[in-house]
Amino acid sequence: MSEQPATPKPVLRVTGVQKWFDDTAVLQGIDIEVAEHEVVALIGASGSGKSTLLKTINLLERVDDGQIFLQGDDITDPRVNADRVRARIGVVFQHYNLFPHLSVLHNITLASRNVFGIGKAEAESRARELLRRIGLEEKAGEYPDRLSGGQQQRVAIARAIATEPELLLLDEITSALDPQLVGEVLDLVGELKQAGSTMVMATHEMSFARRVADRVIFLSQCRIVEAGPPEQIFDDPQQAETQAFLSRVQGASTDD
């Protein structure tokens, strides 16, 4: 009798996660698994827990109950070195968070050189290749305040992937952009998906979630209401809360 191939460990596993701010629950019993090369989109209204969930995964917020595993390692164990965990995860926030006193090239190479000990020449070579891929090779020596919002966000994404993280977290990365700049950032995320990146992204861009995500998770009132492939969530949602949310956001986009 032939042995069945072992099921690979998920890159990310969130089990029973609870988070409170004082007496207010912000995450309630969250269970998620993300496989290698999978893209998971978190959708929901502001305050539903999307950003807080990403912060717990990156250990910027400690969970009050439950566990989070990265490649099988329990990263919520209080003995874990949080900085070492964060070095394995790339994060892009909505407000870029580039260092204003550093050039674009220096922003991208900082973690490679200071955290991973990669030599200057190798780190800069990879950074220039990333800049070429995102169409900003000529901006290597510029400072962030000389770039448009869309350019800054693309540099932030390049910085996040320069260390080849095991997991990439994207937190509403287009919400601070002018509408005409959103497309160039979302196109880059689509390219990352094609390249095989494993991603969890909180987004209010429903059409983008439908196009790029392998799975969509709808959060409401700090809990998961419904999860499934994009075509099921957007075309045939099973829960009344999901139906009401999508009706509101899709109606708003039509009004625009």
pLDDT in the model for residue 9: 79
pLDDT in tens, 49-83: 999 999 999 999 999 999 999 999 999 999 999 99
95 close to 48: Cβ distance less than 8 angstroms = no
Tokens of 116: 């991973």
For each of the domains in the chain, give its residue range(s) and CATH number, in order of start. Answer: 12-98+167-255 (3.40.50.300)
Give me the pLDDT at residue 2, please.
54
pLDDT category, 178, cuts 50, 70, 90? Answer: confident
> Of 110, 142, 151, 144, nearest to 127 (Cα)?
110
Give me the mean pLDDT over the 121-143 stretch.
93
pLDDT at residue 176, rounded to an integer: 77
| Residue 157, pLDDT above cutoff 60 | yes
- Give the pLDDT band of residue 4 (cuts 50, 70, 90): low
Q: How high does pLDDT run on average in the chain? A: 91
Does pLDDT of 255 surpass 80? no
Residue 88: pLDDT above 90? yes
Q: With cut-offs at 50, 70 and 90, classify the pLDDT of residue 122.
A: very high
Say if residues 184 and 196 touch (Cβ distance below 8 Å): no
pLDDT mean over 95-123: 91
CA gap 256, 253 in Å, rounded: 5
Q: Confidence class of residue 252 from pLDDT cuts 50, 70 and 90?
A: low
Chain segment 13-58, per-residue pLDDT in tens: 999 999 999 899 999 999 999 999 999 999 999 889 999 999 999 9
User: What three-state secondary structure class fits 170?
Assistant: strand
Q: Which pLDDT value is given to residue 75?
A: 96
Calculate mean pLDDT across residues 149-166.
Answer: 91
The residue type at 6: A
Phi, psi of 237 (to 5 degrees): -65, 140
Average pLDDT over residues 153-175: 91
Could you count the other beta carbons within 10 Å of the beta carbon of residue 28? 17
Contact 27, 201 (CB under 8 A): no
What is the structure's pLDDT at 43?
A: 96
CA dist 158 and 39 (Å) reads 18
Q: What is the pLDDT of residue 180?
A: 77
Distance in angstroms (rounded) separating the CA atoms of residues 138 and 116: 26
pLDDT, one tens digit per residue, over 224-247 is 999 999 999 999 999 999 999 999
Give the chain's end-to-end CA distance (angstroms, integer): 60
Kindly report the number of other CB atoms within 10 A of residue 138's CB atom: 10
User: Comparing 84-98, 114-128, 215-229, 242-256, which segment has the lowest mean pLDDT?
Assistant: 242-256
What is the per-residue pLDDT for 107?
A: 96
Structure tokens at 215: 């799975």
Cα–Cα distance measured from residue 69 to residue 77, given in angstroms and rounded to the nearest whole number: 10
SS3 39: strand
